[in-house]
Structure 1
Amino acid sequence: MKHLPIGIQTFEKIRNGNYYYVDKTMFVKKLEEGGYYFLSRPRRFGKSLFLDTLKEAFSGNKEL
């Protein structure tokens, strides 16, 4: 049974663990094509996880 990734902020732990994950990697290309972005969300709303996802995508980590 999959678990919710409460408190986990790294993309690698979520992908390698048995956690639910909503894939938002399609937004990486949109961010790359656009200009400047300001990420304004409430606390514990996935900002750090999204930035870690960007880090993994731009570092070329294809295993994840």
Structure 2
Amino acid sequence: MAELKLFPIGIQDFERLRKDGCYYVDKTDLVYKMTHTNNYYFLSRPRRFGKSLLISTLRDYFLGKKELFEGLAIEKLEKEWKKYPVFHLSFAGNKFTDLKSLQ
């Protein structure tokens, strides 16, 4: 009997999603396209539409975590898997309604 996969409800971290074996709609071909063109992108989506997961996916891609992308479209597209320094800030979980909470 095949093992059931979980739906990644509330999971916003690409590495955790992949290591936990959750369902994942593979859009890594779009990640590859975004990172290999000279275009600017404005990523505007409603709440709970995967913005944090996309940023997490980009972070892991730029960190060169090839093993997380096994079986996904980008695995066949990317040939070099370079590692880049990544500075990742997350504003999730806070409201930042005043200067003190932002600091």
Query: TM-score normalised to the size of structure 2?
Result: 0.58
Distance 2:56 2:38 in 1: 19
> Relative contact order: is structure 1 or structure 2 higher (C-alpha 8 Å, sep ≥ 6)?
1
Cα RMSD (Å): 1.0
- In structure 2, stretches of 5+ residues that fail to align are 69-103
Equivalent residues in 2 for 1:1-64, closer than 5 Å:
1-32=4-35, 33-64=37-68
How far did 1:34 drift? Answer: 3.3
Separation of aligned partners in 1, 2:9 and 2:44: 20
TM-score computed with the length of structure 1 as normaliser: 0.90
How many Å apart are 1:23 and its aligned residue? 1.4
Displacement after TM superposition at 1:31 (Å):
0.8
Structure 1 segments (4+ residues) deviating >3 Å:
none
Q: Percent identity among equivalent residues?
A: 59
User: Between Structure 1 and Structure 2, how many residues are aligned?
Assistant: 64
Superposed CA offset, 1:9-44 (max 9, x none): 000111000310011111122112132111111100
Structure 1 residues 18 and 29: CA distance shift in structure 2, 3 A: closer
Gap regions ≥5 residues in structure 1: none
